[in-house]
Amino acid sequence: MKGWFDRAIGAPGTVSFDRFQAAVDDARTLEPWARALSDAELRPAARAAVLHGDQASGRTAGAGLLAVLRTAAERTLGQRPFDQQMLACCALISGHAIELDTGEGKTLVGAMAAAAYALAGRRVHVLTVNDYLARRDAEWMRPLYAALGMSSGCVGQDTPHGERRQLYRADIVHAPVSEIGYDVLRDRFVTTAGARVAPAQDVAIVDEADAVMIDEAMSPLVLAGTAPAATGNVALADQLVQTLRAGEHYTVDDDHATVSLTDAGIDALEWRLGGVNLYDAAQAETLTRINLALHAHVLIVRDVDYLVQDGEVILISAARGRVAEHQRWPDGLHAAIEQKEHLALSSPGMVLDNLTVQDLLRGYATVVGMSGTVLPVAEELSEFYGLSSGRVPRRLPNRRVDLPQRVFLDDESRTQALVAEVQERHRTGQPILVGTQSVAESERVAARLTGIGLEVDVLNARNDAAEASVISAAGEFGSITISTQMSGRGTDIRLGGADERDHDRVARAGGLAVLQVGRYPSQRLDAQLRGRSGRQGDPGVAVTFTSLDDELVLTHAPAYLMTKATRQDGAADTHALGAVVDAAQRIAEGARRDRHRDTWDFSRAIARQRHTVLAERDEVMRGEHVREQLGSRIPTQLKALTAATSVQTVDDAAREVILWCLDDAWSDHLAQLGEIRDGIHLQALAGLSPRDEFHRITLRRFEGFFDTVYDRAAGILRTITAAQLTAGGAALGMRRPSATWTYMVRENPFGGSLERGARTAGRWFRSRVLGIE
């Protein structure tokens, strides 16, 4: 009822694309004209259509361009874009987010839109969720771009740094969103403008838009560099926390996001440490280590959050259920996990800067997006990106049957029912895709199925290309595939195998059956998994097996509904239980939305200051402020150095010193803010608004930031000799990080001990709450 009403009057953030229909219709009539164009005439015709509209032909604006795009696609890729794809392309060109079901051909839609923007002289990034998809799409669509006279390229994890600058000059660049983010971050730390790789942030076309722009929006891309070794006894903290008991010595919050020591826990630890006061300044380091160890043991789960491979901790991205390469947890936590697993501790680092995906995307002049599930997040896309969303209809009706969810009292009865269902469907040869919540769960399910002699393929956190080849075979007769939420996303599951040779037999067997184990944290993610079945009018079936033991239900189900549902002699009322699960999912979704807003709000405050710092940094790099700032602080020293060397030598060295001081100060400032943010929830206890308080402290800490930087730079230069000056930075005791890497940080504004690394949480607590510095 609500769905119909919302659609009729337009839900917040949504638009109708009906108005593009005329252009699509006219494009059809112009097709003979476009087809008559020679290869060489395609680009000029497309350019003319972009520059002059279609006044000459008397057609609807855009129709001529659409006709040329369609012809170019047909000629180069052998696929004639359907009307629905043309409509979707129109919507992207007009700056919208589009919802178009899985398998309807969004890759081609995005490429046509990219071409259209590029024809208008814009620089385009087509952003995907992983390397594999970026490369696949770039190669697949290159002939189309080339036919329209456009250069294109792909930047991935393996692209050498030295090639990136050149690649970013292309009209159209395909890349995973994180790779662009890291290049933007690294570019902030160059010391000469020429060292930048400079990705142009003009037009971004985001594939799997809901995953990137909403689910991953607040995951910060963090750039870190080598730092002096951290002190502190990681092993001792690890041993200590293993003596603590849940509930008594520490508590975990409802969201499973933070764990805190209780007074009894503090007492027990203090006693074990021989009667120290853990809140004593001298113990701050120990307390931090203990908190980190506790976090590592209680909240971070092996095979769910990370894998151990070749003696290393390899992270699994929570939102995607796949490995996150070149990523670590912030140092203290990473070391705590290594200790927990009895691995050698890797060398520590310091955070140089960070950037959320949302901030990155907002840096583009134009952002548009596409996905099979966009409308459920239309309101957020509008709020955070000023983007309005609409749905493009499917070409063929959906023939997938979605069965009512099945609810079980516990995990074991659910698994038995699931196994029985797999067995029964498998007997007929129907291909089956089992969607699970985590890597660990997919392995458990796989073990049960192989235990009864079935052959299964497990998709989890391996490399993207291997996943793609497995998932593309998931529609073969008799195949059973087990996946996590994002694994294999973006790859087509065709009935009868990748070449569809066996399509009709599989269709007769009922098409792909999607069996979902437990509900995801939002209806949208459930829909995304179901959407793997029933592509392009194929038959299919989807059913969810939920258990009251599921994490989602345990964490979010309202207790009063739970008791109501299980009232009669412990027997379950399936309908009522279903309502409990639905409610738990709605609550989880609401919690995620609130967290997104909170985190965004915190990151805004920091972003404004970063903006100021980067602007100043740019000016320093161009040589401004150097003489002026230092001249007023150390005039005689500057004159002496210049006389002994040259103006150029002194200017270069001074610039380097200032940049080094600036970067170091910013890194330090970020660490302090992280610490404050971690502790800020305590303000709520004192009746203050955490947000207002955070903004207030952030501002105060930033006062005099630049003066401190220039004072420090002057201090370094004041004491050096002409010989040291010519010897360069290392002689001045400034070491730039020799290597950088990136961190995985969970969005967690009020959360525990994540960002502070070797710095102390106690420091904030002491200075703000106890009033001692």
Q: Which residues bind ligand ADP (CB under 6 A)?
A: 79-82, 85, 100, 102-108, 492
Single-letter amino acid, residue 302: R
Least distance from ligand ADP to the Cβ atom of residue 389, Å: 16
Residue 82 contact among Mg ion, ligand ADP, none, beta carbon within 5 to 8 Å by kind: ligand ADP
CB of 131 or CB of 755, closer to ligand ADP: 131
CB of 227 or CB of 374, closer to ligand ADP: 374
H, E, C per residue of 640-678: HHHHHCCHHHHHHHHHHHHHHHHHHHHHHHHHHHHHHHH
Least distance from Mg ion to the Cβ atom of residue 133, Å: 7
Least distance from Mg ion to the Cβ atom of residue 234, Å: 43
Least distance from ligand ADP to the Cβ atom of residue 531, Å: 8
Residue 490 binds Mg ion (CB under 5 A): yes
CB of 222 or CB of 506, closer to ligand ADP: 506
Single-letter amino acid, residue 668: D
CB of 100 or CB of 167, closer to ligand ADP: 100
Least distance from ligand ADP to the Cβ atom of residue 78, Å: 8
Least distance from Mg ion to the Cβ atom of residue 483, Å: 16
Least distance from Mg ion to the Cβ atom of residue 224, Å: 32
DSSP secondary structure, 383-422, as one string: HHH---EEE---SS--EEEEPPPEEESSHHHHHHHHHHHH
Helical residues (DSSP H) of 395-544, grouped into ranges? 411-427, 439-451, 464-471, 503-508, 523-530
Q: Which residues of 202-224 are buried (b: 16+ CB within 10 A; e: fewer)?
A: ebbbbbbbbbbbbbbbbbbbbbb
Residues 282 and 276: their CA atoms lie apart, in Å, by: 10
Residue 105 contact among ligand ADP, Mg ion, none, beta carbon within 5 to 8 Å by kind: ligand ADP
CB of 296 or CB of 392, closer to ligand ADP: 392
Q: Name the residue number minimizing CB distance to ligand ADP.
A: 105
Least distance from ligand ADP to the Cβ atom of residue 541, Å: 19
Query: What does residue 734 show for φ and ψ, rounded to 5 degrees?
Result: -100, 120
Least distance from ligand ADP to the Cβ atom of residue 492, Å: 5
CB of 536 or CB of 683, closer to ligand ADP: 536
Least distance from ligand ADP to the Cβ atom of residue 205, Å: 12
In sequence order, the 6+-apart residues with CB closer than 8 A to the CB of 184 are 199, 201, 355, 360, 363
Residues 319 and 36: their CA atoms lie apart, in Å, by: 48
Residue 153 binds Mg ion (CB under 5 A): no
Helix axes 63-77, 21-29, angle to 10 degrees: 60
CB of 100 or CB of 407, closer to ligand ADP: 100
Q: Which of 43, 106, 142, 186 binds Mg ion (CB under 5 A)?
A: 106
Least distance from Mg ion to the Cβ atom of residue 496, Å: 20
In sequence order, the 6+-apart residues with CB closer than 8 A to the CB of 356 are 217, 218, 219, 220, 221, 599, 600, 603
Stretch in the footprint of Mg ion (CB under 5 A) among 5-13, 485-493, 575-583, 747-755: 485-493
For residue 483, give the H/E element and its range: strand 480-483
Ramachandran category for residue 174: left, alpha or beta (phi over 0 → left; psi -120 to 50 → alpha): beta
Using CB under 5 A, count the residues that bind Mg ion. 2
User: DSSP letter at 193?
Assistant: G
Asked if 637 and 717 touch (Cβ cutoff 8 Å), the reply is yes
User: DSSP letter at 343?
Assistant: P
CB of 115 or CB of 493, closer to Mg ion: 493
DSSP secondary structure, 535-579, as one string: GGG-EEEEEEEEETTSHHHHHH--HHHHHHHTTGGG---HHHHHH
CB of 426 or CB of 489, closer to Mg ion: 489
351 three-class SS: strand
Least distance from ligand ADP to the Cβ atom of residue 395, Å: 9
Query: What does residue 248 show for φ and ψ, rounded to 5 degrees?
Result: -90, -55
Least distance from Mg ion to the Cβ atom of residue 207, Å: 6
Beta strands in 160-218 (DSSP E): 172-176, 203-207
Asked if 658 and 734 touch (Cβ cutoff 8 Å), the reply is no
Residue 80 contact among Mg ion, ligand ADP, none, beta carbon within 5 to 8 Å by kind: ligand ADP
CB of 141 or CB of 717, closer to ligand ADP: 141
In 3-state terms, the chain is what percent helix, strand and coil (to 5)? 55, 15, 35
Least distance from ligand ADP to the Cβ atom of residue 108, Å: 5
Residue 108 contact among ligand ADP, Mg ion, none, beta carbon within 5 to 8 Å by kind: ligand ADP
Distances (CA, A) of 638 to 241, 365, 542, 625: 55, 43, 75, 14
Residue 81 contact among Mg ion, ligand ADP, none, beta carbon within 5 to 8 Å by kind: ligand ADP
Residue 79 contact among ligand ADP, Mg ion, none, beta carbon within 5 to 8 Å by kind: ligand ADP
Stretch in the footprint of Mg ion (CB under 5 A) among 99-107, 275-283, 400-408, 549-557: 99-107
Distances (CA, A) of 109 to 49, 84, 103, 115, 492: 18, 9, 12, 10, 15
CB of 490 or CB of 540, closer to Mg ion: 490
CA quadruple 95, 101, 102, 105: dihedral sign: negative
Single-letter amino acid, residue 164: R
CB of 66 or CB of 268, closer to ligand ADP: 66
Stretch in the footprint of Mg ion (CB under 5 A) among 20-28, 243-251, 360-368, 486-494: 486-494
For residue 45, give the H/E element and its range: helix 39-52
Residue 104 contact among ligand ADP, Mg ion, none, beta carbon within 5 to 8 Å by kind: ligand ADP
CB of 106 or CB of 556, closer to Mg ion: 106
407-413-417 Cα angle (round to 5): 75
In DSSP terms, 260 is beta-bridged to 251
CB of 141 or CB of 336, closer to ligand ADP: 141
Single-letter amino acid, residue 414: R
Asked if 13 and 42 touch (Cβ cutoff 8 Å), the reply is no
Stretch in the footprint of Mg ion (CB under 5 A) among 105-113, 352-360, 457-465, 511-519: 105-113
DSSP secondary structure, 229-257, as one string: PP-S-HHHHHHHHTT--BTTTEEE-TTSS
Least distance from ligand ADP to the Cβ atom of residue 742, Å: 27
Stretch in the footprint of Mg ion (CB under 5 A) among 101-109, 419-427, 589-597, 708-716: 101-109
Residue 674 contact among ligand ADP, Mg ion, none, beta carbon within 5 to 8 Å by kind: none
CB of 109 or CB of 355, closer to ligand ADP: 109
In the complex, the residues that contact Mg ion under the rule CB under 5 A are 106, 490
